Structure 1
Amino acid sequence: MKFSLHTLAAAAAALVLAGCASTAPGTAEINLVALNDLHGHLEADKFTYAGVGEKTQRTVMAGGIDTLAGALQAWRKEDRELLLVGAGDMIGASPALSAMWADEPTLGALDLLGLQATSVGNHEFDQGRLELLRQQKGGCASPRPDKACRFDGSYAGAKFSYLAANVIDANTRKPLLPAYRILESKGVKIAFIGAVLQDTAEVVAAAGIAGLQFGDEADAVNRLLPELRKQGVGVFVVLLHQGGRTASEFDKQYCDDLEGELVPVVKKLDPAIRLVISGHSHKGYLCKVGDKLVTQAQMGGHMLSRIKLVVDRQTNQLVDVSARNVVMTQGAYPADPRAEAYLAKVRARGNAELAKPVAKIGAASVTRALTGSDESALGNLIADATLYAGRPFGAQIAFMNVGGIRATLEAGPDNVVSKGQALAVLPFGNTLVVMNLTGAQIRALLEQQWVGDKVESRGLLQVSEGFSYQYDLRKPAGQRVLEVTLNGVPLDDNASYRVAANNFIAEGGDAFPMFAKGTNRAETGVRDIDSLTSYLTYREQQRKPAGLAAEQPRIRRVQ
């Protein structure tokens, strides 16, 4: 039998990190598993990756709570005192199977997995502080009464602890949530300190976090150490929902090229802190920043970080820390019957829920087929829905990429659209972002629809009601966009406009880098599918069902 170098290296790392591995006399070996940015992904999905030494990428089905539970079950047989912790965004921007019930199925799944503590992430604030506290403590009083307590009829709260050292109530001057949790393994006390990016207020709707202050992450963590030492703690682990970037592979031990907002925070942390478990950037890495190890396990449950701490019992100090990232390939671990049963229950209730009606539309379908000017009825509808959801954040214009529209919107009997039919149109679970772009930047954005000298479009950005422009493909690149108007008024190059789009293109995806230059960005937390269904309902209530009549062209091609 042949083994690749990658396989042999993984096997060797597994032996080193196994809970039964020998340790030096007078030391204790603590095994941690870390998870970040699950975003309510209860089911496995496709994950493409290449590890160290692998020249070609592979695509596998990875993640899902059944897979995670199987891996944890196997690892706990090696070490029954293993600790599972997280680095935020466990919920929010979630697939329908979790989001339709206010993410309560995911919170229950995390309890089933044995999660003990996690930092909050910015997406935990998507529905506001009161909803976050309800999700932690339990109850049904929610700003989403149509979703809360609808999964099981009641909700008792999460058994794990949400941590936030740097989130303060401006009125009481007290922390919104506990700053840390002390856990014990092999007789050693370990303090897990949670923090969320200081810029959370810039990426979350302001109304939901009114009265909260998000302080400097490192300062909030460092000031806790004297208090923790008085409680007999000598080992400190930071759970930080802030991320970095690296060109290194997810399993490289250890990269030295980490960049981004995370790095200066890590450099400010007290020297006694040797391990930072990070999140937010959805990148798998194992990196060193000075003498600190910084980990992240991609997102969506596609991988877990296995971490080993070696602690000197006499001095109560951490003497070594090591880690590896493990891809959670479906079927790689023996099944956990409890997790399988739980997922089956969620799916069964979900299928019934997805059959429920959303709204009546004005035709049997709304097509995604493009006209001669690359505009579609469904593209217009989704752009309008995006604008509708973005208006509380000041949106004036909305864009939608045609690659994100995966099917024509089909209706059932009496032209009624079900939740499942709506999800077929927008299956990615993207969230909406609202930002500022100048008129000149919007013009430049529209010019980016044709890559270089290629006049064949990839499918133009679909635009919202009130916004229109003309284009001429006979003109050279950079000069093809002609008249651009908003509500009949020509766009002012020097004026600033609030623009809404899904997070994929808002980050420059689909070759639209101009979106990434948007300022004053608001991460609304609104999923594109929710904006669509809400808008369909609104149109029906206004007695103007979608698809009732042909829309006036918003994009005109000059022949």
Structure 2
Amino acid sequence: MTSSRTRRLSGVVAVAALAATGAAFTGGSTSAASNGPTIDIQLLSFNDFHGNLEPPSGSGGRIITSDTYTETSNTNPNTGVTTYSATPQTVNAGGVEYLAGHLKALRQGHPYTATVAAGDIVGASPLLSAAFHDEPTIEAMNSLGLDVTAVGNHEFDEGYKELQRLANGGCLDDGAGAANQDSCPGGKTFTGANFPILAANVRLKATGQTILPATWVKKFKGAKIGFIGMTLKDTPNIVTASGIQGLEFTDEVQTANALVPRLEAQGVKAIIVLIHQGGVPTRTASTAHLSGLENKFDSACPTGTSTGLNAPASPIIPIAQQLSPQIDMIISGHTHTPYVCSIPDPAGQPRLVTSASSFGRLVTETNLTFDRRTQDIVRASVAGNNLVVTRDPAFKDPAETKIIADYKTLIAPIASKVLGSISTDITTASSPAGESKLGDLIADAQLADPSTTTGGQAPVIAFMNPGGIRTNLTYANKSWNEAPGEVTYDEAFQVQPFNNYLVSLTLTGAQVKEILREQWGGGATTSPNSIARPVILQVSSGFAYSYSDTPAGRVLGPVTLGGAELSDTGTYRVVTNNFVADGGDGLPGFRVGSGRFFGGLDIDAFANYLQAHSPYSPVADARITKN
């Protein structure tokens, strides 16, 4: 039988919820005169834009707008088992044209306003930006009036020197479209960011100097607000090692607290941290069936003993709890989730911590009062809430529309090229063991790529990290008016947008098995919950492994190649992308591989494989099994 009913989940508009629970963020006066003892200041913030100039599609282009869900229960008449599903109310959101328009509208009536961001403005970007080394996104950020941003981990995707170029300007001599990238296309010039990119905790080991400014001070009429910008200290674990060679990433708390007295020495007492690290709201529901579904755009975190964030998944909590009480607010990112929270500072005073989801779908508006007499923010005045960047045509910014149109013309010859066709959708939907059809395809493409063969040795095993697969290949998609089932370079790039290089290396069978154990934390028997995000590596055809969950933990089972058990002492040539080869995603076992050889780009291997195997149909392998 089937039945449906509507459930009302917990969660209300952020400001109302904070006031109802007795939070200190009660809102400031809106009538403070510019020549009086206080002035009202508006902060507009966002994070994790990732070069999404055009409106993002799929689930990445929607935001949950209502805490009303329709729950449907279905009972199998043969087994008596009841399953539940629920659909949230959503709205399409995002796109730089609309982001710019909403920001302009929000600034109206606020003479003292600043627009700030918390990192990953570029990197893992759609082709429209990535094909030009993310110069279009910097141009778009200049146009919408971004005042300052922190650096994020993805700003290091092409190395720190490229990040410095994005900040300072100049063109790359990259061969005018070689490797499907082109700096300063069509005779354009690139002047760099009109806003500072702050990297307080990223230093050159040789000199101790930060690679970019650590702080920035915004001056209003009679008011100074200092900004400290940082990325997460664990950035080296999630970026390519070659791009950060010679750098050190220092602890976020120690770095920021050391900068507070330096800002105070400049007469700056009002301080805000922009940090590319974040949290995940605890998702609650009125019934167990719906648990885990709530993630409203205006999710408010309760005050008191609970932060409203899931502690194991929220590294921002201990950071916020230890940052100096002189810091008045924390604008965070990285986790792509929306929240407006109160986390007490070390003095026990409430302090606002915010995040605005990702891809320009939300803007956090924070209003605060600055007291000229104390030269500080009135902490009790700080009030924030997240606002949806709707795609109402009235908000469409013509300057951003022109930027998109110009680059779409320049990208068309690369993006519209048809690589081949697929017979059906090929997605990241995984088996109970964690294997996906798209993961199979990418691993097979890497194994088949001849660019990683060296000394007559071709790889026999390919590994692909699931986090590097960013979207699905869908049969019906028609991004460039191609026929149904045809796959363009643009579509392929959206699947693998990092421009990683393929690397082949030699591992023993024992080392391969240890890497497989590292997926869930390492060790012969390890609980899959012992790390925050277990990784299930996707593998190429002919290679297979199994595992079991036991009361003692997760146990690796047989590991085979061509049906034969891998020999612990035997050696095997493997291929993966340079991020994984450098130990990314918590897989340090790859670093011990010998005979490293760099091949071509992963996207090229993917594109070539699709061309050679068109029309492509998903394989029926069971390469990964769970007992």
TM-score (norm 1): 0.74
Could you tell me which residue of structure 2 aligns to residue 23 of structure 1? 32
Identify if the C-alpha distance between structure 1 residues 10 and 198 changes in structure 2 by more than 3 Å, giving closer, same or farther: closer
Partner Cα separation in structure 1 for residue 359 and residue 621 of structure 2 = 37
Supply the AA of the counterpart residue of 1:316: Q
In the TM superposition, what are the counterparts of 1:338-377 in structure 2 within 5 Å? 338-356=399-417, 365=421
Identify if the C-alpha distance between structure 1 residues 141 and 502 changes in structure 2 by more than 3 Å, giving closer, same or farther: closer
Q: Select which of 602, 609, 612 maps to 1:531.
A: 602
Q: C-alpha displacement at 1:184, in angstroms? A: 1.5
Partner Cα separation in structure 2 for residue 240 and residue 547 of structure 1 = 45
Is 1:36 aligned to 2:50, yes or no? no
Q: For 2:337, what is the secondary structure of its paired residue?
A: coil
| Further displaced range: 283-292 or 432-441 | 432-441
Structure 2: gaps spanning 5 or more residues: 1-7, 18-24, 71-87, 284-295, 345-349, 454-458, 504-510, 522-535, 548-552, 591-599
Superposed CA offset, 1:440-490 (max 9, x none): 759999xxxxxxxxxxxxxx997415524799xxxxxx9xx9964236752
Contact 2:29 2:369 (8 Å CA) reproduced? no
Q: C-alpha displacement at 1:62, in angstroms? A: 0.7
Is 1:298 aligned to 2:357, yes or no? yes
Q: C-alpha displacement at 1:366, in angstroms? A: 6.2
Could you tell me which residue of structure 1 aligns to residue 561 of structure 2? 486
Q: Select which of 346, 361, 369 maps to 1:310.
A: 369
Is 1:421 aligned to 2:488, yes or no? yes
Could you tell me which residue of structure 2 aligns to residue 287 of structure 1? 341
Q: C-alpha displacement at 1:181, in angstroms? A: 0.8
Q: C-alpha displacement at 1:236, in angstroms? A: 0.3
Could you tell me which residue of structure 1 aligns to residue 318 of structure 2? 264
Identify if the C-alpha distance between structure 1 residues 534 and 135 changes in structure 2 by more than 3 Å, giving closer, same or farther: farther
Q: For 1:350, what is the secondary structure of its paired residue?
A: helix
| Further displaced range: 88-97 or 426-435 | 426-435
Superposed CA offset, 1:513-549 (max 9, x none): xxx9954499xxxxxx962334545999xxxx55699
In the TM superposition, what are the counterparts of 1:161-200 in structure 2 within 5 Å? 161-200=196-235
Partner Cα separation in structure 1 for residue 183 and residue 156 of structure 2 = 19
Superposed CA offset, 1:365-386 (max 9, x none): 565689xxx9999875522335
Supply the AA of the counterpart residue of 1:197: L
Q: Select which of 458, 462, 469 maps to 1:397.
A: 462
Q: C-alpha displacement at 1:501, in angstroms? A: 9.1
Superposed CA offset, 1:232-271 (max 9, x none): 2111010000111112543134432223211111112110
| Further displaced range: 250-259 or 198-207 | 250-259
Partner Cα separation in structure 2 for residue 351 and residue 491 of structure 1 = 46
In the TM superposition, what are the counterparts of 1:384-463 in structure 2 within 5 Å? 384-386=444-446, 397-399=462-464, 404-407=472-475, 421-424=488-491, 427-428=494-495, 438=514, 441=517, 463=539
Identify if the C-alpha distance between structure 1 residues 270 and 11 changes in structure 2 by more than 3 Å, giving closer, same or farther: closer
Q: Select which of 149, 158, 176 maps to 2:183.
A: 149
Partner Cα separation in structure 2 for residue 325 and residue 495 of structure 1 = 56
Contact 1:37 1:279 (8 Å CA) reproduced? yes
Q: For 1:233, what is the secondary structure of its paired residue?
A: coil
In the TM superposition, what are the counterparts of 1:233-272 in structure 2 within 5 Å? 233-247=268-282, 249-255=296-302, 256-258=307-309, 259=311, 260-272=314-326
Structure 1: gaps spanning 5 or more residues: 359-363, 413-417, 446-459, 472-477, 507-515, 523-528
Supply the AA of the counterpart residue of 1:271: P
Partner Cα separation in structure 1 for residue 368 and residue 477 of structure 2 = 52
Partner Cα separation in structure 2 for residue 298 and residue 307 of structure 1 = 15
Q: For 1:115, what is the secondary structure of its paired residue?
A: coil
Q: C-alpha displacement at 1:99, in angstroms? A: 1.0
Between the aligned residues of both structures, percent identity stands at 35
Contact 2:417 2:489 (8 Å CA) reproduced? no
Query: Once superposed, what is the RMSD of the aligned Cα atoms?
Result: 5.0
Q: For 2:190, what is the secondary structure of its paired residue?
A: coil
Is 1:224 aligned to 2:233, yes or no? no
Supply the AA of the counterpart residue of 1:486: L
Superposed CA offset, 1:106-160 (max 9, x none): 1110000111110100000011111111111111236786324243533221111
Contact 2:126 2:493 (8 Å CA) reproduced? no
Q: For 1:159, what is the secondary structure of its paired residue?
A: coil
Contact 2:446 2:576 (8 Å CA) reproduced? yes
Partner Cα separation in structure 2 for residue 251 and residue 156 of structure 1 = 37
Partner Cα separation in structure 2 for residue 310 and residue 343 of structure 1 = 37
Identify if the C-alpha distance between structure 1 residues 220 and 485 changes in structure 2 by more than 3 Å, giving closer, same or farther: same
Contact 2:269 2:375 (8 Å CA) reproduced? yes
Q: C-alpha displacement at 1:195, in angstroms? A: 0.6
Q: Select which of 369, 380, 383 maps to 1:322.
A: 383
Identify if the C-alpha distance between structure 1 residues 245 and 555 changes in structure 2 by more than 3 Å, giving closer, same or farther: closer
Identify if the C-alpha distance between structure 1 residues 189 and 383 changes in structure 2 by more than 3 Å, giving closer, same or farther: same
Could you tell me which residue of structure 1 aligns to residue 246 of structure 2? 211
Partner Cα separation in structure 1 for residue 126 and residue 95 of structure 2 = 12
Identify if the C-alpha distance between structure 1 residues 304 and 355 changes in structure 2 by more than 3 Å, giving closer, same or farther: same
Contact 1:191 1:236 (8 Å CA) reproduced? yes
Partner Cα separation in structure 1 for residue 316 and residue 193 of structure 2 = 28
Partner Cα separation in structure 1 for residue 256 and residue 605 of structure 2 = 41
Contact 2:352 2:382 (8 Å CA) reproduced? yes
Q: For 2:331, what is the secondary structure of its paired residue?
A: strand
Identify if the C-alpha distance between structure 1 residues 342 and 265 changes in structure 2 by more than 3 Å, giving closer, same or farther: same
Supply the AA of the counterpart residue of 2:48: D
Q: Select which of 64, 85, 88 maps to 1:50.
A: 64
Q: For 2:395, what is the secondary structure of its paired residue?
A: coil
Could you tell me which residue of structure 2 aligns to residue 91 of structure 1? 122
Q: For 1:282, what is the secondary structure of its paired residue?
A: coil
Q: Select which of 442, 445, 448 maps to 1:382.
A: 442
TM-score (norm 2): 0.66
Identify if the C-alpha distance between structure 1 residues 155 and 51 changes in structure 2 by more than 3 Å, giving closer, same or farther: same
Contact 2:40 2:112 (8 Å CA) reproduced? no
Contact 2:12 2:299 (8 Å CA) reproduced? no
Supply the AA of the counterpart residue of 1:485: T
Superposed CA offset, 1:4-53 (max 9, x none): 9999969999xx99999223852111101101000010111354443575
Q: C-alpha displacement at 1:437, in angstroms? A: 6.7
| Further displaced range: 492-501 or 76-85 | 492-501
Could you tell me which residue of structure 1 aligns to residue 532 of structure 2? none
Partner Cα separation in structure 2 for residue 158 and residue 536 of structure 1 = 32
| Number of residue-to-residue matches in the alignment | 496
Identify if the C-alpha distance between structure 1 residues 241 and 10 changes in structure 2 by more than 3 Å, giving closer, same or farther: closer
Could you tell me which residue of structure 1 aligns to residue 397 of structure 2? 336
Contact 1:33 1:84 (8 Å CA) reproduced? yes
Identify if the C-alpha distance between structure 1 residues 550 and 263 changes in structure 2 by more than 3 Å, giving closer, same or farther: closer
Could you tell me which residue of structure 2 aligns to residue 66 of structure 1? 97
Supply the AA of the counterpart residue of 2:299: K
Q: C-alpha displacement at 1:404, in angstroms? A: 3.1
Partner Cα separation in structure 1 for residue 570 and residue 116 of structure 2 = 46
Identify if the C-alpha distance between structure 1 residues 409 and 228 changes in structure 2 by more than 3 Å, giving closer, same or farther: closer
